[in-house]
Amino acid sequence: MMSDRHWTRRQFNAASLAIGAAGLLGSSASLLARPTRSLRDDQQLLRVGVIGCGGRGTGAVIQALSADPNAVLWSMGDLYRERLTPCMEAAKSNIAEYADDPEATLEHQFRVTPERLFDGFDCYEKVIASGVDVVLLTTPPGFRPQHLRAAIDANKHVFCEKPVAVDGSGVRSVLESARIAKEKGLAVMSGFCWRYQDQVRETFARLREGGIGDIRAIQTTYNTTGWIKPKPRKAEWSDAEFMTRNWHYFHPLSGDHIVEQAVHAIDWQAWAMRDAPPVRCWAVGGRQARPDVPETGNVYDHFSVTYEYEDGVRGYHMCRHWENTPSDNSAMFMGSEGVCTMQPWQQNHTIDGAKPWRGTAPSNDMYQREHDVLFKSIRDGKPVDDGVFMAHSTLLAIMARDAAYTGRIVTWDDALNDAADLHAEPWAFGSRAIPGMAIPGRSET
């Protein structure tokens, strides 16, 4: 599944810049609005398969079916069969609530049969082979490179949730899949949803127009009280089941919280730098407040990283999971002519300096917008292509994690070409080595 190609910063930068700023600066008004639910003949169906039926998979199903009146749920797969029915029922309930004709809509858009409900580690292969046109990849991140390659090889359009990998080998695989998808004319939509949020898009357009002059430094945060509650191990669970049921808490599956969650804020930095990669980074991190029990695995609870770019710009990011502390998800862009402060959770976007400014764009459902754009691009024969930047932003988070885990300076080239493969051993139910906590100065990765 992995490419042997050795990537350099120059090659990656060229690939990144090839996508340009067109997607950023395009008018929000040109994006697809929620369509009316008129039913058309079955020859125009877009058959959707979902792989990963937890909360994010359920949301993606709802958004996919809401994006196009002739998008139909065709097949479903999850590691655990008990998640399939709740996912479908939640999607049906939501779609019916907003449909003009609930009975007709449900009958039309939900076409899953018992023969197209799959579980187990190989469920992705079965969903992809079930006759679908579009695949929603919403499993734990560690599996996404393999699932993306299988979908692209089978000529399927893809929605790929973020992050898209948990190590350099996975990122290389995603880059190769993105290249193949572009050659085949397949749509690849990422789960980096803030790139489809109108207020944030308006702010970045202002930065592109020189609203703060030349960017000198960037600061981003993703501070929260934690993730979903971990699940204590049951006697009948194997090592593999224990880890996959607590996938957030094991870095081979989630990438750690800086990769799985805080990558959204790190993506703002990538976006501001026009997706050009940094030269290197260094970081600190650790586990200070997270309960030390088996089900919390081996992930840290805080990180702080400094990125250094070729032109001298530095990016600073911090994230933490500490209870009873303030949450914050914001960015500050410091330029030669002003400072832009972006607070998306508060819908507050301002520039102080030579060209004072305050954002005025209305908010929108960025999760829905992603699918609106994806399905419109398929219908129009102009497939959306998020493949390079979604790999880029993911690697930014991975290199920071590895710098914190090891205590070393990690270069972009080192991270991208790292030979370590966290999924070298195929996954199957049964015994499996449970990773321990990384110790800076001692751990390799």
- Condensed to tens digits (0 to 9), the pLDDT of residues 273-332 reads 999 999 999 999 999 999 999 999 999 999 999 999 999 999 999 999 999 999 999 999
Which pLDDT score is estimated for 288? 96
The C-alpha atoms of residue 329 and residue 410 are separated, in whole angstroms, by 25
184 has a pLDDT exceeding 70 = yes
Check whether 122 has a pLDDT greater than 90.
Answer: yes
Q: Is the pLDDT at 4 greater than 70, yes or no?
A: no
Q: What integer pLDDT is reported at residue 43 of this predicted model? A: 64
| Residue 388 pLDDT class (50, 70, 90 cuts) | very high
Lowest mean pLDDT among 24-38, 64-78, 425-439: 24-38
Spell out the CATH class of 9-194+368-385: alpha beta
Query: What is the pLDDT of the chain when averaged over all its residues?
Result: 91
Label residue 131 by pLDDT band (50, 70, 90).
Answer: very high
Yes or no: say if 431 and 241 are a contact pair by the CB < 8 Å rule: no
Mean pLDDT value of segment 130-151: 98
Give the pLDDT band of residue 104 (cuts 50, 70, 90).
confident
Percentage of residues in the chain having pLDDT higher than 90: 86
Q: What is the pTM of this model?
A: 0.91
> Per residue in 128-158, is it b (16+ CB within 10 Å) or e — as a string?
bebebbbbbbbbbbbbbbbbbbbbbeeebbb
Q: Which pLDDT band holds residue 41 (cuts at 50, 70, 90)? A: low
117-119 sheet: strands from edge to edge = 117-119, 71-78, 46-51, 134-137, 157-160, 188-190
Query: Which CATH superfamily, name and number, covers 198-363+393-416?
Result: Dihydrodipicolinate Reductase; domain 2 (3.30.360.10)
Amino acid in position 394:
T
Residues 330, 297: contact at Cβ < 8 Å? no
Q: Once rounded to an integer, what is the mean pLDDT over residues 209-218?
A: 97
**Alpha carbon distances (Å) from 236 to 78, 82, 233, 245, 312:** 19, 16, 8, 13, 54
Question: What integer is the mean pLDDT of 178-191?
Answer: 98
pLDDT at 42 exceeding the cut of 50? yes
Mean pLDDT of 360-371: 97
Indicate whether 65 pLDDT > 90: yes
The pLDDT, as a whole number, for residue 349 is 97
Tell me the H-state helices in 209-283: 239-245, 251-254, 257-260, 263-272
Assign 81 a pLDDT band (cuts: 50, 70, 90).
very high
Provide the pLDDT confidence category of residue 260 given band limits of 50, 70 and 90.
very high
What are the boundaries of each domain within the chain? 9-194+368-385, 198-363+393-416
pLDDT band, very low/low/confident/very high, at 31 (cuts 50, 70, 90): very low
Gyration radius (Cα) of the chain, Å: 21
Q: Do domains 9-194+368-385 and 198-363+393-416 have the same CATH topology?
A: no
Q: What sign results for the dihedral spanned by CA atoms 53, 55, 57, 60?
A: positive
